[in-house]
């Protein structure tokens, strides 16, 4: 395994695991949202890394492509752009809900919120 593969696949997997660790170990709703955002970023970077072709060219052709040319797949970056927009919308909605919970109950600690009766 070379250093390029370690960077391309190790860093996103590290981000995903750190996000999972934050979500599973914290009791604060705000920190849980940050952990989910960290996982989202790690997954996006991993998808882009999986679509990378070393020595590949962009898939924009002005003439008929040669068969032996390597071309980078344009679908993963397009999916990642969509996932970024969805992730930001999710994060914005989640933060607004956390702010409302803080205003209503005075805390964002999950353990204290469980004690409240609905």
- pLDDT more than 70, % of the chain: 90
DSSP label at residue 8:
I
Q: What confidence score (pLDDT) does residue 82 get? A: 96
**Nearest partner of 38 among 14, 8, 4, 9, judged by Cα:** 14
Average pLDDT, the chain: 88
- CATH architecture of the domain with residue range 3-58+71-115: Orthogonal Bundle (1.10)
Q: Are residues 94 and 36 in contact, defined by beta-carbon separation less than 8 angstroms?
A: yes
For residue 71, the cross-strand partners are: 57
In the chain, what are the domain boundaries?
3-58+71-115
Tens digits of per-residue pLDDT, 53-88? Answer: 777 777 776 666 666 677 788 888 899 999 999 999
In the numeric block, which tokens belong to residue 47? 């998808």
Residue 41 tokens read as 């970023």
- In sequence order, the β-bridge partners of residue 5 are none
């Amino acid at each position: 395994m070379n250093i390029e593969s370690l960077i391309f696949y190790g860093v996103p997997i590290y981000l995903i695991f750190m996000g999972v660790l934050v979500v599973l170990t914290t009791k604060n709703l705000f920190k849980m949202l940050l952990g989910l955002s960290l996982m989202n970023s790690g997954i996006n970077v991993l998808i882009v890394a999986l679509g990378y072709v070393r020595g590949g060219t962009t898939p924009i052709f002005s003439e008929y492509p040669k068969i032996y040319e390597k071309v980078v797949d344009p679908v993963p970056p397009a999916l990642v752009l969509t996932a970024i927009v969805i992730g930001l919308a999710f994060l914005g909605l989640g933060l607004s809900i956390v702010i409302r919970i803080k205003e209503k109950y005075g805390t964002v600690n999950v353990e204290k919120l469980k004690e409240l009766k609905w």
